[in-house]
Amino acid sequence: MAQSEAGRGKGASRLFPSDDFVRTRAPPLMTGPVTVAILLSEGRNSRGGIGRVIGYLVRGLHQAAPDIRVRQLAARPTVAPVVKHLTVPLWMALFAIALIRDRVDIVHINVAPRGSTWRKMAYAALARRLGKRVLLHLHGSAYDEYFQSLGKKRQDMVRRFFGSADKVVTLSERWTRFMIDDLRVAPGRVVEIANGVPAAPDLHSPVAGGVTRIAFFGAVGHRKGTDILLEALAALAARGVAFEAVIGGDGDVEPMRDLARKLSLGDRVRFLGWVDEQAVDRELRQSDIFVLPSRAENQPVSILEAMARALPVVATRVGAIPRQVEDGVTGLLVEAGDADGLTGALARLAQDAELRGSMGQAGLAQFRARFSVEACAARFGQLYREMAGRPPR
């Protein structure tokens, strides 16, 4: 759908160049390396799925695209919330200095709902004023619901924000349609690139008998469905299924730990708190099933990490998960909030080692074909070159 006239005319914010201006900024064909600044909330120190997937991308680019030079920049300091707000002008000044000093060609800005959108809006405007090309990379869950919750003025600002970008990267077809149909971004500016994760050096091979180990990694709390998972695990225990579970991630850990006690899960469930990449790898290789019963998602990197280790996945039909997990082939999908359905799916896999093995191998094959970090880095490398006017490779 075409950009609305309201976003082009005199009423448009000065923060955003007009559609016509963006279209006429095609760079001349050049040679030499491309310098990309990737903006994350806390830069290299960013936690969670976004931080991890960008870390994988940077390593992949370093190996596969030596002509792409990457700088990781922080949008705010890793300090108390009040200090973060007070230091915004300083942080933006440092951002501008880095773009000029390092002769950055492209600013790659990672965007999620709520505060991330409004912070990144200011950074994108500053990058444009400095003559840099801007790529917006949509992450985070339920951005469509967040957008619908905004008033008309704020919706118009969000539309102009995404519409003024040189390119917008989405993670799946669903979010591509959202960009084009709801945010009215020109189809030619939207590029779909799935997340990518590295292959695992070692895979876990499920064996019959013994205690089934179930793993969850994500922000502990309501959105990721940790409460539903604990209810399902309690029901699984009541059925007499032998299992143990690990729950890794920060967030509402103590409330969920209290819920686990109330459900008499005892020593069956272990809370790890926040875990780094190495710990995730170790825990997944020691597990038999990965579970993520989220109420809202985009394209969770933890599911890809599980597939890369040949684990069957139990997850919900939200966001781009149905494009990651093929129901009945690489894992089992249930409805969000359905504790009984989740119990049944976990019980089915916990009691059938052969099924776990076949689904895990199918997931590994799908990961290698569609979600490797090499494929992701190659796509971004080509996109960066195109944006910077470099010849394709």
Which phi and psi angles does 135 have, rounded to 5°? Answer: -115, 125
Listed ranges 7-16, 194-203, 348-357; the one with the highest mean pLDDT: 348-357
Is the pLDDT confidence value at 77 over 70? no
* Greater pLDDT, 99 or 14: 99
pLDDT of residue 24: 41
pLDDT of residue 298: 86
User: What length is written for the chain?
Assistant: 393
pLDDT of residue 55: 92
Read off the pLDDT of residues 230-243 as tens digits, 9 standing for 90 and up. Answer: 999 999 999 999 99
pLDDT of residue 44: 67
Which whole number is the average pLDDT over 362-371?
95
Token pair belonging to 176: 């591509």
Which whole number is the average pLDDT over 197-219?
81
- Considering only 147-151, 269-273, 274-278, which range has the smallest mean pLDDT? 274-278
pLDDT of residue 324: 94
- Mapped onto helix, strand or coil, the DSSP state of residue 16 is coil
Read off the pLDDT of residues 132-182 as tens digits, 9 standing for 90 and up. Answer: 999 999 987 889 999 999 999 999 999 999 999 999 999 999 999 999 999
Q: What percent of the chain has pLDDT over 70?
A: 86
Q: What percent of the chain has pLDDT over 90?
A: 74
The answer to whether 196 and 374 are in contact (CB under 8 A) is: yes
Which whole number is the average pLDDT over 284-302?
94
CA atoms within 13 A on the CB side of 364: 16
Is the pLDDT confidence value at 26 over 60? no
- Count the Cβ atoms, other than its own, within 10 Å of residue 266: 9
Is the pLDDT confidence value at 202 over 50? yes
- Give the strands of the sheet with 331-334, arranged side by side: 269-273, 243-248, 212-217, 289-292, 313-316, 331-334
pLDDT confidence bin for 80, thresholds 50/70/90: low
Q: How far apart are CA 237 and CA 204, in angstroms?
A: 24
pLDDT confidence bin for 41, thresholds 50/70/90: confident
pLDDT confidence bin for 17, thresholds 50/70/90: very low
* Greater pLDDT, 6 or 267: 267
pLDDT of residue 239: 95
Q: Which residues pair with 191 in a beta bridge?
A: 169
The structure's pTM equals 0.82
Q: Which domains does the chain have, with CATH numbers?
A: 5-196+373-388 (3.40.50.2000), 212-370 (3.40.50.2000)
- Mapped onto helix, strand or coil, the DSSP state of residue 391 is coil
